[in-house]
Amino acid sequence: MPQSSGPIAASYYTNAAQDARAPSKAKLEGELLWGSIVLAFFFLDRSSELWGPVAVDRSTGTERAHCVKADNVILRDKNGAQVGPEDPNAASVEFVFESHKGDCDAQGVTVRHYRSHHPILCPVTASQRCLRIRAQWLYEGKDIGPYLTSTSRTRTVKKARVGKLIKTAAANMGLKPKDYSTHSLRIGGACALLAAGKSDLVIRLMGRWSSWCFTVYTKLRPGMIRDAASCMIKASTRECHEPGSIPNLITRHSRGELQRV
């Protein structure tokens, strides 16, 4: 993964959506492409978990494909009951990862998201879109594979196509295309979680990282530290006034020595 890959923020998607849904493209495949891009942002997906060509991982001595299967995308209503992609009462979506790059023992993990209530970017809406397209193809008798992004028996939405779309959108926004790739979706999701105040542990678990290496991707934004100083003062003030606490001593330098103030 190139270290220069930049994170993709939510505002980036409007431009990407326009290209993915361009009239010149096959309508349903374009919608499937767009839906998968939204899901990659929310579920912090690796390219191997959504797009093809689907590769077999033999690194653990067992052949495994990490690409998410359509049957492992589960929609639920507010009561937790499973519902279909046409159901307007779908309130959450679960991705069941049978395995992934960091899961050496293939223990699997389930990640759930609820509706974002955003008009364009919503994991539930995107999942419904992808599953409806699949259902329509199956109804029409189209022979498609088991994966969420399958477009035929042996093919899925291609990683190269997603990467090209991302770079095109970056160029349209005046950004450097070379700084963006499919991995930017995963980085962007991690940065969004950090900006939302989610802990490193939450980010690590949602992104299925086996170590804390993801911290090299997350980037501080001005808005994330705008109130840092005031929060530090408030926290320090509360600490000083707690019963039995020892007040913090603020020190200053004087002729090379530290003195109490």
The verdict on residue 252 lying in a domain is: no
What pLDDT is attached to residue 250?
38
**Total domain count for the chain?**
1
The verdict on residue 79 lying in a domain is: yes
The verdict on residue 128 lying in a domain is: yes
Q: The CATH number of the domain where 86 resides is what?
A: 1.10.443.10
**Mean pLDDT across 216-239:** 58
Q: Are 137 and 49 in contact (CB under 8 A)?
A: no
Q: Classify residue 208 as left (phi > 0), alpha (psi -120 to 50) or beta.
A: left
The answer, yes or no, to whether residue 94 has pLDDT greater than 80, is yes
Q: Are 172 and 27 in contact (CB under 8 A)?
A: no
Three-state SS letters, the chain: CCCCCCCCCHHHHHHHHHHHCCCCCCHHHHHHHHHHHHHHHHCCCCHHHCCECCCCECCCCCCECCCCEHHHEEEECCCCCEECCCCCCCCEEEEEECCCCCCCCCCCEEEEEECCCCCCCCHHHHHHHHHHHHHHHHHCCCCCCCECCECCCCCECEHHHHHHHHHHHHHHCCCCHHHCCCHHHHHHHHHHHHHCCCCHHHHHHHHCCCCCHHHHCCCCCHHHHCCHHHHHHHHHHHHHCCCCCCCCCCEEEECCEEEEC
The answer, yes or no, to whether residue 227 has pLDDT greater than 70, is no
Token duo for residue 23: 């009239």
The verdict on residue 3 lying in a domain is: no
The verdict on residue 9 lying in a domain is: no
Domain housing 179: 23-226
The answer, yes or no, to whether residue 141 has pLDDT greater than 50, is yes
> What are 111's strand-pairing partners?
95
**Mean pLDDT across 12-17:** 60
The better pLDDT of the pair 176, 241 is held by 176
What pLDDT is attached to residue 24?
47
Query: What is the chain's mean pLDDT, rounded?
Result: 79
The better pLDDT of the pair 138, 214 is held by 138
pLDDT level of residue 248 (50, 70, 90 thresholds)? very low
Token duo for residue 76: 């639920």
Token duo for residue 130: 């992808």
